[in-house]
Amino acid sequence: MTLFWLLAVGLVITSLLTVTARRPVYSVVYLIANFVLLAITYVTLSAEFLGVIQVIVYASAILMLFLFVMALLSTSTAPFSVGPDRLPGIVGPAVALVAVIFGLLVYGVTRTPLLIVPRAQPVSAAPGTANAFGSTSDFGAALMTTHLLPFEVTAFVLMVAVIGVVMLASDAAPQATRHHARRRGPRTREPITRERPALEKGSVR
Amino acid sequence: MTPVASVALVNYIGLSALIFLIGVAGVLTRRNPLIMLMAIELMWNAANLAMLAFARAWLNNAGQVFAFLVITVAAAEAAIALAIVLITFRRTKNVDVDEIASLSG
Amino acid sequence: MIAALVIVPILAGFAVLLLPRRAEQTARWIGVAVAVLAFVAAAASYNAADESARWLSRPFSAAFHVGLGHGVSYWIVLLLTLVTACALLAGSPPWAARGGGPAERTFVAHMLLLLGSMVGVFVARDLLLFALFWDLMLIPVFLAMVASRGRAAVTAWRYLIYNVAGGLVLLLATAAFGIVTGSTDVVGAGSAHAAVGGVAFAWIFGGFAFAFLIKTPVWPLHTWMPDTYADLPSPFAAVVSAVQSKAGLYGFIVIGLGLMPAQMRAAASLMIALGVISLFYGALVALTEADMKRVVAYSSLSHLGLILVALFVFAPTGTPDIVALQGAVVYIVAHGLFSAALFLVLGQIEQREETRLLARLGGLGVRNPKLAGGLTIAALATLGLPGLAGFAGELLIITGIYRAGASWLAAVILVPIIIAAAYMLRLLQDVMNGPQRDDLPQRPDLSFVEGLALAPLVIALVVLGVDPGPVANASAAALQSPSGVALSGEHVPR
Amino acid sequence: MLYTIWLLPLLGAVVLWVLGPQLRERGGILGSAAVGLSFFATLTLYRAAGTTPGVHVPLGSWIGGFTFGLMMDPLSLIWVLVITGVGGLIHVYSIGYMAGDRAVARFFAYMNFFVFAMLTLVLSDNFVGLLVGWGLVGLASYFLIGFWFERPSAVAAARKAFVINVVGDVGLMFAVFVLFSHTGSIAYTDVFARVRDLAPPVLLTACIAIFIGCAAKSAQVPLHTWLPDALEGPTPVSALIHAATMVTAGVYLVARCAPLWDSSSAARELVGTIGAVTALAGAILGIAQWDIKRVLAYSTMSQIGYMIMGVGVGAYEAGVLHFFTHAFFKAQLFLAAGLAIHALAGEQDIRNMGGLARRMPFAFWGMLIGTLSICGVPFFAGFYSKDAVIYGELLDGHPWLYVLGVATAGITAYYMFRMLFIAFFGRDRTQTEHHGEPAHASNVPDWVMQVPVAILMVGTIAAGYLDIGGDNSIWSRFLAPDFAGENLLRTGAPQISDMVSSAVVLVAVVLGFGLAYLRYGAPAALTNAPERLDREARTMPPVLTHGYFVDDLIWALFVRPAQALGMAFGRFLDPVLIDGAVRDTSFLAGVLGWITRRLENGLVRAYAVTIVLGVACFVAYYAFAGIPR
């Protein structure tokens, strides 16, 4: 009980920090913390394997990727906020919207109590043992038998992702001029890389 | 590990919703694509949390399998999204989502 | 065999596109050969059994089911192949003649694609297949219009948007029909669903009717039609006005009366009102139109309105009137023949004199007696001269209407016949009669081949006028099923 | 044999049409031969047709209970004899008249086609066959009126004739529907057998519808206006179609449908009255004409009025007899007038003729005999038939119609002799320049045109002798199978006898002649003819020169409104309202598209907002509606 509330508070705080951090690097750090807390929560929900995966894959591998990208991007001058904010004042409405949705969810969930009917046959082994619900072996058996097809699909998705990334990354030549920056709306500033066209001789400014 | 039987399912769902909505708010308010992506990761994980909670309540590990699937897809998504961010940066030297408006109809 | 009627022209159409640039004349003769073969094959298929292959089983069952025998389909497909052959023979459209524009093989290819897809509409025994071909047959016409230049491209879009709107609603109605009844493989299967009623069917019928009314077209959904007929190259205008416009009426017969007679009956007053309005409206506008092809277009509106009325004539007992229906079928074929002939002749005139304006034309009869003869016969058939096919259809239709008790309607419907005489004579005389005009190009009279293209239509008009029996009887046999309305092909196991 | 009679002219027409360019001048001989053979074939059927059921040949049937066949009974036979006999003579005459025309083969093709159509009309044993013939005759007439299709006036006249004839077709068509629906058959015999079963309103409707057909075809008031214009065709055409045969089709139809009229006295009143009015109206208009053919045209209208009046009141034999004699004398008048016109190279205005009696005595004698006959001078054919018709009115109890008939007879004498005096007496006023029908350099001998006129003269004088002897005459006995004696109502004994009636008519005729003589024929009137005629032309009341303004009335009541509606629909309603509504719809779609395109601003976060809004909607729905269990 206490554990849950501690975890909950930690999760909410780290989440908030993640989306509000000024610099992306801080965000990553908060996100790592968030994911670790989440992994603990998973374990409290009898999902050992996923808890482990959460730490290994998410907290380390994926977020490392973020850090790498950040490192790559930071080589040049501040690339993240070059133009004006085209949705100024979104924060208030966004928070309000989110709050409304949350209110609606809470209202809906409390209005109609969740109807949960646990699986009819009891779990074969006692909690904590190797074959208990959510244990790695239980999960693995489910993954390899009942849910084999989704598992295979997972592999396929990953492969497609790999191919996609390779394709994208092989788009080697930086063709700055091909980019169409936004075509409508007031343009207050030229894109950084685009040089100002030299003034025609004798042209009146 | 004993299940936290004393914690009602509703609490997990509420927590999940809260995290998800924080992620939503992040996507809506931030203009740094990396932070937006991280907010999206938050949303993925919030969903996972809900699924694991339900799986525990139903004692059905289909929810866990699906969470696994989500992690995979999230990984793939992150990889591709980051690649796109890089490409965009390489082409335009900036990754401001307000500037990159070529989706405009 | 029947499936081949659909597939072979389409394949041939694509094949013609692949011909080398030099082979323009070859393309045309290939086209004519395919159309003539299709005509012969269709004519020989009077007793042909249906052909069917499985298609969908979910969400409702559907099949690639085609059939031809005995019914209305048989005669319309014969008409279609005949008219297509004549249109191909009549020669290339104006843009090909002027040297600019797409090559003649493009024209032939479009024509063959049109032939195949339209045969598909009339032989489909499955609603879904019907809906598929219904939309497919728009494409060649659209392409043909886009291929010619100028205003036609705008008209092409208009044609497409109107008809696709109809096609979309048709598809929705088809899907709804499939979901409600479980199968779309029902066209011509008799009155299996005749008893099914209810709100869903009212909506489904409404959807079908909307598509049919656009296609026919019927006032006030007709405004795409005059422009389309005027801007289409004449051979296409001939095929479209002769046969494609009949798809809607065919739909009313085969789908409306065949599957949803109760809804047909419920809609009768509305449809008769629309038909009568079209009848008068088209006739009156044709009286004053300045463009000769638009005169014919509006006359089509008028005549098709008459057929629409005929389809919705119900005896007091609630069964559709057989004589009116027979008349409608005869008139469908007759109108196909004479409107095709009219458009082909007008196309020749347009090609020769480079104008369609009645005010500019005149006195062509002196130098072009054959052209004048062709136009005269086509115009006379249009105004319902006794002894030609149009008269037989009119006579049967109005007899049926009178017999069914609507004597006032029969009297009212006779009036546009007088107007028809006035506007067809106006067309004929303004073009052919009067003193010769010096400001028109002097071109040779109809060549042998061009005359040959008109001859079958004229002969068919006379034959059908002297004895409409075969056409009417064939449908009569199919009409008189126990419930009174299994219209298209009979499905008697052999 | 019936087939031969019927189809020979069609064969001729087809051959002439197809081989026209090769045949050229010889086409006339071929066309005449076809009609002539048809005539002789008819003669062989004379006896067979006279027997009670007549000759009958079934042709086949359509779906829906339409059965077709050919039939020749005495009534048909009389018409067939006139069509092929008089028609054949007119064909022969045309060889001369049309010689040199560019499209002589086409002319004979049309003429043969007309004969075929007319034969279809009278030989059919049912209403639909009749209707087919009825329409084809109108077509042939259209072709022949518009034969010189380069002349705008001919084209307009042809169009007018055809459209008015279609009005008649449509009336007749309606009658066919009525009769077919209520009797279940279209054959005359079946329909007439069931006449008694028809309700009076149905019967009256059918009769009126039939009579609309008759009125249009036979130029009865108010559908008569096409007839004077129809003279734009060559003169033989006027003689064949617009005098001898086609315009009398209405008479045939009324006579044929005698059982219908006999059962409906209201319909008889209508027909009789309209006939009488037409007779009088046509005669009065005849007074005011200067074109020799228009005089004859109005006289035709007037004479057909007589026939209709006769058959209308039940004097069928008299009416048919008047048709028979009229066919001879009117054809003869037209052909004789044609001789004059031909010789004067197309001149048709009697003011520009004068003194032709000396220049062309043959034409003069033809005109004179015809005139005497049409006026009903004793011992000429017209006398017998016209008197019978007029007396029939009295027998049927219509004294007013009788008075109209007598008055018309007087006026007829007046305008016919007026025409004769102006054109054939006095000084020669012919001018060199001319307009009208094109002149042809003829290489055909004169007798080709004169012999037919001579033969017709015999008929003009003698055709009436068939009726001498009252109910026992050859004529009455021959027609007996069709009419079973006269069907006059004979309401009470007539106040005056047959002889007295003839005398009354004769007095009227003499009065008419006397007036014409005083005004145009007397030596004093002849000397200053040109000035007098000019003055008369100027002072003629417009109501007569414009044919009572019926044309203008039709124009204002029907044609103008139809054109205005067409214009309003085609130029305004279609492009502006209906299409406008469609365009507005598409404009609305455009506006919606513009709005949604604003949303598609390329701003990723804005998209996200939309998505979240959508999510909010879903959540709201499920939150309030609950989750279905």
Number of domains in chain B: 1
Q: Do D600 and B27 touch (CB under 8 A)?
A: no
pLDDT (tens digit per residue) in C86-124: 988 887 655 555 555 556 778 888 889 999 999 999 888
Instruction: Mean pLDDT check: name the lowest of C126-130, C199-203, D119-123.
Output: C199-203
Report the alpha-carbon distance of residue B99 to residue B91 in Å, rounded.
Answer: 13
Domain co-membership, A45 together with A66: yes
Structure tokens at D233: 């065709």
Q: Do A90 and B29 touch (CB under 8 A)?
A: yes
Q: Which of B10, B68, B79 sits opposite A50 (nearest CB)?
A: B68
Task: Show Cβ contacts of residue D214 under 8 Å, excluding neighbours closer than 6 positions.
Answer: D168, D220, D249, D250, D251, D253, D254, D271, D308
Q: Do D159 and C386 touch (CB under 8 A)?
A: no
Please report whether residue B4 resides in a domain.
no
Stretch 311-350 of chain C: residues touching chain D, C-beta under 8 Å: 322-323, 326
Structure tokens at D476: 């009455």
Q: Which chain A residues have a beta carbon less than 8 Å from that of B23? A: 15, 19
Interchain CB contact of A179 with B (< 8 Å):
yes
pLDDT of D237 above 50 = yes
Task: Show Cβ contacts of residue D141 under 8 Å, excluding neighbours closer than 6 positions.
Answer: D114, D161, D162, D165, D230, D241, D242, D246
Stretch 41-80 of chain B: residues touching chain D, C-beta under 8 Å: none
pLDDT of B6 above 60 = no
Number of domains in chain A: 2
Report the alpha-carbon distance of residue D93 to residue D453 in Å, rounded.
Answer: 8
CA distance B63 to chain A (A): 10
pLDDT at A117: 67
Q: Which of D60, D152, D570 sits opposite C285 (nearest CB)?
A: D570
Q: Which of C410, C417, C432 sits opposite D177 (nearest CB)?
A: C410
Please report whether residue B94 resides in a domain.
yes
Q: Do A108 and D622 touch (CB under 8 A)?
A: yes
Report the alpha-carbon distance of residue C60 to residue C126 in Å, rounded.
Answer: 12
pLDDT (tens digit per residue) in B25-38: 999 888 888 888 99
Q: Which chain D residues have a beta carbon less than 8 Å from that of B101? A: 601-603
Interchain CB contact of D608 with A (< 8 Å):
no
C-alpha of C287 from chain center: 22
pLDDT (tens digit per residue) in C141-198: 888 888 776 677 788 888 888 889 899 999 999 888 888 887 777 765 554 454 555 6
Structure tokens at C209: 């009717």
CA distance B60 to chain A (A): 7
Q: Do B103 and D605 touch (CB under 8 A)?
A: no
Opening angle at CA B90, ends B88 and B92, nearest 5? 65
Q: Looking at per-residue confidence, does D431 or D161 come out higher? A: D161
Report the alpha-carbon distance of residue C362 to residue C349 in Å, rounded.
Answer: 11
Report the alpha-carbon distance of residue D471 to residue D485 in Å, rounded.
Answer: 8
Q: Do A47 and B56 touch (CB under 8 A)?
A: yes
The size of the A-D interface in CB pairs under 8 A is: 40
Q: Do B102 and D602 touch (CB under 8 A)?
A: yes
Give me the domain span that covers residue B95: 9-100
Q: Which of D131, D151, D178 sits opposite C386 (nearest CB)?
A: D131
Please report whether residue A13 resides in a domain.
yes
Q: Which chain D residues have a beta carbon less than 8 Å from that of C326? A: 63-64
pLDDT at D473: 72
Structure tokens at D42: 């008819």
Interchain CB contact of B6 with D (< 8 Å):
no
8-state DSSP, C289: -
Please report whether residue A114 resides in a domain.
no
Closest CA to C354 of C240, C437, C236, C239: C437
Interchain CB contact of D167 with C (< 8 Å):
yes
φ, ψ of residue D71 in degrees (nearest 5): -150, 140
Please report whether residue A56 resides in a domain.
yes
Which amino acid type is present at position B12? Y
Give me the domain span that covers residue A168: 147-181
Q: Do D600 and B103 touch (CB under 8 A)?
A: yes
Which amino acid type is present at position D188? Y
Domain co-membership, A71 together with A152: no
8-state DSSP, D60: E
Report the alpha-carbon distance of residue A178 to residue A195 in Å, rounded.
Answer: 14
Report the alpha-carbon distance of residue D612 to residue B29 in Å, rounded.
Answer: 13
Closest CA to C78 of C216, C242, C249, C189: C242
**Is residue B42 within 8 Å of A15, Cβ to Cβ?**
yes
Please report whether residue A198 resides in a domain.
no
What average pLDDT is seen over chain D?
Answer: 81
Domain co-membership, A65 together with A157: no
pLDDT (tens digit per residue) in C392-436: 888 888 888 888 877 888 888 888 888 888 899 888 888 888 787
What are the DSSP calls for C56-114, one per residue?
E-SSSBEEEEE--TTSHHHHHHHHHHHHHHHHHHH---HHHHTS-SS-HHHHHHHHHHH
**Is residue B50 within 8 Å of B16, Cβ to Cβ?**
yes
- Asked whether C and B share 3 or more beta-carbon pairs under 8 angstroms, the answer is no
Domain co-membership, A132 together with A40: yes
pLDDT of C480 above 50 = no
Report the alpha-carbon distance of residue C48 to residue D62 in Å, rounded.
Answer: 26
Q: Containing H/E element for C287?
A: helix C261-288
Report the alpha-carbon distance of residue C494 to residue C486 in Å, rounded.
Answer: 18
Please report whether residue A112 resides in a domain.
no
Q: Do D149 and C425 touch (CB under 8 A)?
A: no
Max Cα separation, chain C?
A: 68
Listed by start position, the domains of chain C span: 272-473
Indicate the pLDDT class of residue B23, thresholds 50, 70 and 90.
very high
Closest CA to C71 of C479, C396, C464, C468: C479
CA distance A127 to chain D (A): 31
Interchain CB contact of D43 with A (< 8 Å):
no
Q: Do A179 and B13 touch (CB under 8 A)?
A: no
pLDDT at D568: 83
Q: Containing H/E element for D72?
A: strand D67-72
pLDDT at A171: 66
Which amino acid type is present at position C85? A
Report the alpha-carbon distance of residue C114 to residue D371 in Å, rounded.
Answer: 68
Q: Looking at per-residue confidence, does B100 or A40 come out higher? A: A40
Please report whether residue A85 resides in a domain.
no
What is the torsional sign of CA D79, D82, D85, D91? negative
Cis peptide before D222 (omega within 30 of 0): yes
Domain co-membership, A153 together with A71: no
Stretch 19-38 of chain B: residues touching chain D, C-beta under 8 Å: 24, 27-29, 31, 36
Q: How far is CA C222 from CA C245, C269, D15, D268, D574, in A?
A: 11, 19, 44, 47, 9
Q: Which chain D residues have a beta carbon less than 8 Å from that of C383? A: 166
Report the alpha-carbon distance of residue C69 to residue D461 in Å, rounded.
Answer: 66
C-alpha of D293 from chain center: 16
Please measure the distance between the N-terminal and C-terminal CA atoms of chain C and give it in whole angstroms. Answer: 17
Q: Which chain B residues have a beta carbon less than 8 Å from that of D608? A: 24, 27-28
**Is residue C379 within 8 Å of C341, Cβ to Cβ?**
no
pLDDT (tens digit per residue) in C228-259: 888 888 888 899 998 988 999 988 888 888 78
Indicate the pLDDT class of residue C211, thresholds 50, 70 and 90.
very high
pLDDT at A185: 43
Instruction: Mean pLDDT check: name the lowest of A53-67, C58-72, D215-229, D410-424.
Output: C58-72
Domain co-membership, A61 together with A159: no
Closest CA to D299 of D337, D355, D266: D337
Domain co-membership, A163 together with A140: no
Burial state string for C242-268 with b = 16 or more CB within 10 A and e = fewer than 16: bbbbbbbbbbbbbbbbbbbbbbbbebb
pLDDT at A12: 93
Q: Do D616 and A90 touch (CB under 8 A)?
A: no
CATH of the domain at B40: 1.10.287.3510
The size of the C-D interface in CB pairs under 8 A is: 136
Q: Which chain D residues have a beta carbon less than 8 Å from that of A83? A: none
Closest CA to D3 of D38, D30, D34, D32: D38
Domain co-membership, A28 together with A38: yes
Report the alpha-carbon distance of residue C206 to residue D185 in Å, rounded.
Answer: 39
pLDDT at A179: 45
Task: Calculate what percentage of chain C has a pLDDT beyond 90.
Answer: 15
Which site among C326, C395, C415 would you substitute to test the D interface, given the most D Cβ atoms closer than 10 Å to its Cβ?
C395
According to DSSP, the residues that pair with B102 across neighbouring strands are none
Q: Any idea of the CA torsion for D514, D516, D522, D527, to the nearest 10 degrees?
A: 170
φ, ψ of residue D229 in degrees (nearest 5): -65, -25
Instruction: Mean pLDDT check: name the lowest of C211-225, D282-296, D517-531.
Output: D517-531
Please report whether residue B1 resides in a domain.
no
Q: Which chain A residues have a beta carbon less than 8 Å from that of D626? A: 108, 111-112
Please report whether residue A191 resides in a domain.
no
Q: Looking at per-residue confidence, does D4 or D139 come out higher? A: D139
Domain co-membership, A32 together with A18: yes
Stretch 13-52 of chain A: residues touching chain B, C-beta under 8 Å: 15-16, 18-21, 24, 27-28, 31, 34-35, 38, 41-50
Q: Which of B1, B17, B39 sits opposite A128 (nearest CB)?
A: B1
pLDDT of A100 above 80 = yes
Chains in touch with D (3+ beta-carbon pairs under 8 Å) read A, B, C
pLDDT (tens digit per residue) in D358-373: 778 888 888 888 888 8
Indicate the pLDDT class of residue A181, thresholds 50, 70 and 90.
very low
Specify the residue for token string 């005749």. Answer: C194
Task: Calculate what percentage of chain B has a pLDDT beyond 70.
Answer: 89
Closest CA to D102 of D142, D150, D137: D150
Opening angle at CA D556, ends D551 and D559, nearest 5? 85
The neighbour count for residue C194, using CB atoms within 10 Å, is 18
- Locate the chain D residue with the closest alpha carbon to C436: D150
Closest CA to D270 of D195, D212, D343: D212
Specify the residue for token string 């007996």. Answer: D480
pLDDT at A177: 42
Report the alpha-carbon distance of residue C244 to residue D581 in Å, rounded.
Answer: 25
The pLDDT of D394-407, averaged and rounded, is 82
Q: Do A47 and B53 touch (CB under 8 A)?
A: no
Structure tokens at D516: 């014409």
Q: Which chain A residues have a beta carbon less than 8 Å from that of D618? A: none
Q: Containing H/E element for D39?
A: helix D26-44
pLDDT (tens digit per residue) in D451-492: 888 888 888 887 777 777 666 677 777 777 777 644 555 545
